[in-house]
Structure 1
Amino acid sequence: MVLKRIFTAIGVAAAAFALSLSAASPAAAVPVDAPTPVKSRIEAAAAPDTAAEPRTCRARFAENVNHRLRAEAGSAILGSIPAGTWVQASCTRVAGGEYSACGLSSDFWMEVYWKGNWGHGAWGCVQDWEYTS
Structure 2
Amino acid sequence: MKKFFTAIGVMAAAFALSLSAASPATAVRPPGPIHAPTPVKSRIESTATVDGEVPDAAVEQRTCRARFAEGVNHRRLAEVGATILEVIPAGTWVPVSCERRAGGEYSACGLTSDYWMEVYWNGAWGYSAWSCVSEWEYTS
Q: How would you bin the TM-score normalised by the shorter chain?
A: 0.5 to 0.7
Q: Give how far 1:100 is off.
A: 0.1
Match for residue 60 of structure 2?
A: 53
Match for residue 113 of structure 1?
A: 120
Match for residue 32 of structure 2?
A: none
| 1:62 partnered with 2:69 | yes
CA distance in 2, matches of 1:71, 1:55: 22
C-alpha RMSD of matched pairs (Å):
1.7
TM-score (normalised: structure 2): 0.59
CA distance in 1, matches of 2:139, 2:105: 29
Q: How does 1:12-27 map to 2 (within 5 A)?
A: none
Identity %: 68
CA distance in 2, matches of 1:122, 1:114: 14
Deviations 1:34-70 (A, max 9, x none): xxxxxxxxxxxxx796584010000000000000000
Q: Flag structure 1 segments of 5+ consecutive residues without an equivalent.
A: 1-46
Q: Is this contact kept in 1: 2:74–2:126, CA < 8 A?
A: yes
What amino acid does structure 2 have at the position aligned with 1:100?
S
Q: Give how far 1:101 is off.
A: 0.1
> Match for 1:93 among 73, 90, 100?
100
Which structure carries more relative contact order (alpha carbon 8 Å, separation 6+)? Answer: 1
Match for residue 130 of structure 2?
A: 123
Match for residue 18 of structure 1?
A: none
